[in-house]
Amino acid sequence: MLSYPIVLTPDSNGTLLVTFPDVPEAITVGESEEDARAQALDALEAAFEIYFSEKRQIPMPSKPGRAQPTVTLPALVVSKVLLANEMLNQKVRKSDLAKRLKINQVQVDRLLKLNHSSKIEMVESAFAALGKRLEIRAV
């Protein structure tokens, strides 16, 4: 799993400002620490959509400081982030991946949308088409 450190800063209006040292584009606020964490996940995913659309590498999380709060991405989102980064590393465009998978490019678009509930089998197939294997481990 990918757990991104967050910084919670009390704001003058009683809310908490949430920022990510690794993803400066992700900024949000919350009414409480619990709300701030929930909003943080949404902000992080929204920032990643920007990275996807701009074809930029998504940064991996740094090690959190002692007792620093983190936001952990869901497994399907992690797999999509890793897939997008691997496509960039190999310079494989969406149309290239669609050809390799023998599917329509719209399906690849959905595969890279974080809020689309793709089947994990499809993500595995995409990794296989890139010569990689997706591994999920319980720790």
Nearest to 128 by CA among 120, 117, 137: 120
Given a contact cutoff of 8 angstroms between Cβ atoms, the answer to whether 105 and 98 are in contact is yes
The pLDDT, as a whole number, for residue 86 is 97
> How many CA atoms are closer than 13 Å to the CA of 20, on its beta-carbon side?
29
Domain spanning 3-72: which CATH class is it, in words?
A: alpha beta
> Which two tokens mark 65?
């400081």
Which is it for the CA torsion 129, 90, 110, 115, positive or negative? positive
Pairwise CA distance, residues 85 & 58, whole Å: 6
Domain boundaries, the chain: 3-72, 75-129
The pLDDT, as a whole number, for residue 136 is 83
The per-residue pLDDT string of the chain (139 residues; one tens digit each, 9 = 90 and over) reads 899 999 999 988 999 999 999 999 999 999 999 999 999 999 999 999 999 999 999 999 999 999 999 999 999 999 999 999 999 999 999 999 999 999 999 999 999 998 899 999 999 999 999 999 998 877 7
pTM: 0.89
